[in-house]
Amino acid sequence: MGTPKSNSGDLARLQEVNRQALIKSGLSQINSIFSGGTYGTGATDLWNPKNRDSLYTASGKSISELDTSDPLFGSWIRDHPNLLKASGGRESLFNKVGGEIIDATIPGSNALGFGPWSPFEGDHPKTLTSDQVKNKYAQFLARSGQLFTGTTTSPGFNQDFYNKRATDYINYAMPELQQQAGQQSKQLQYKLANQGLTKSSAGQQLGSSLLQEINKQRQGVVSGGIQQAQDLQRNVEQNRSNLISQLELSADPGAASQQALSTAAGFRAPSQFQPLGSLFSNWANTYMASQVPRSGGMSMPYLYGMPNSTGSTSGIIPNNGFVR
């Protein structure tokens, strides 16, 4: 073995290269969990070339099927420039990286930085086949907790997921709206009948007013569903951003992916919505709070805030589908 030729600058550079590789690995998992895709699960520190078909990267690729189209592997190769030495007479590594024909000729067996502190130990060039480079990469993954025994595919949080939140809210709120609307309709019918105003034009106007309020509340439920979906999307993206920030500080992809999985599971839990409250209280306070004297119908429209009218018409409340 030759004299180590590394220095503190070499070590710092190599440590940063490996740190960035870990961040990219964790980012791949976070994005797969949140946006949809396949990622590695079941971290292992045991690398055996015989199991290369059943050991996976963070992006869910088996070691045996790696090529430079895999973003993590391709990035790792680019970050280790000794792998990019062109040598026309030797086996090329997967055709091209960055448009340059490459092979696996590297100076020194430890040039990829797997030694504890001496990335450039060894004086003699060593030529690696593409499979040997994959093995080096797998060793790096195993030692950094980014080699996996299985894969999982996440559907991610897409527009269908957010649309479902809107639908869930509407399905939750509409029956309550229907119940409250029916109760309010019955209260109006009872009050008009009690005052002998069932067939008055003022009664018809009140019925129309209530129907308008019901339609307004129905639209409010639809808008509430849309707001629920938008709030959920903002929350998901904010949590993803926070996880990425934590990953960049810690360079701990294992912790980041576990937190991402826990966060994602929370977002997929059954929806819990707040009770609607009294939807028709404002309408009732405006149109039904006053006690109408039974001595004459002329005073009723005034007290209800309606134009004075003594006209008569059949029917009280247009059929709105809510009265039971």
Work out how many domains the chain is built from and give that number: 2
Q: In terms of domains, do 103 and 208 share one?
A: no
> Is residue 251 predicted with pLDDT exceeding 70?
yes
Q: What is the pLDDT of residue 66?
A: 87
> Is residue 87 predicted with pLDDT exceeding 50?
no
pLDDT in tens, 199-214: 788 888 888 889 999 9
Q: Higher confidence at residue 56 or residue 75?
A: 56
Task: Among 154, 182, 203, identify where a domain stops.
Answer: 154
Task: Among 154, 184, 204, identify where a domain stops.
Answer: 154
Q: In terms of domains, do 199 and 219 share one?
A: yes
Place of tokens 């595919």: 153
Q: Of the candidates 315, 291, 282, 283, which has an alpha carbon nearest to the alpha carbon of residue 202?
A: 315
Task: Among 105, 128, 154, identify where a domain stops.
Answer: 154
Q: In terms of domains, do 237 and 113 share one?
A: no
**C-beta separation of 22 from 141 below 8 A:** no
Q: What is the pLDDT of residue 73?
A: 86
pLDDT in tens, 130-164: 777 888 889 889 988 899 999 999 999 999 999 99
Place of tokens 């109760």: 183
Asked if residue 48 is part of any domain, the answer here is yes
Asked if residue 36 is part of any domain, the answer here is yes
Q: In terms of domains, do 193 and 116 share one?
A: no
Q: In terms of domains, do 130 and 186 share one?
A: no
Q: In terms of domains, do 176 and 234 share one?
A: yes
pTM over 0.95: no
The domain of 293 spans 159-303
> Is residue 93 predicted with pLDDT exceeding 80?
no
Q: Judge residue 224's burial from the number of C-beta atoms within 10 Å of its C-beta, 0-12 exposed, 13-18 middle, 19 or more buried.
A: middle
The angle that helices 201-250 and 253-268 make with each other, rounded to 10 degrees, is: 170
Q: In terms of domains, do 24 and 139 share one?
A: yes
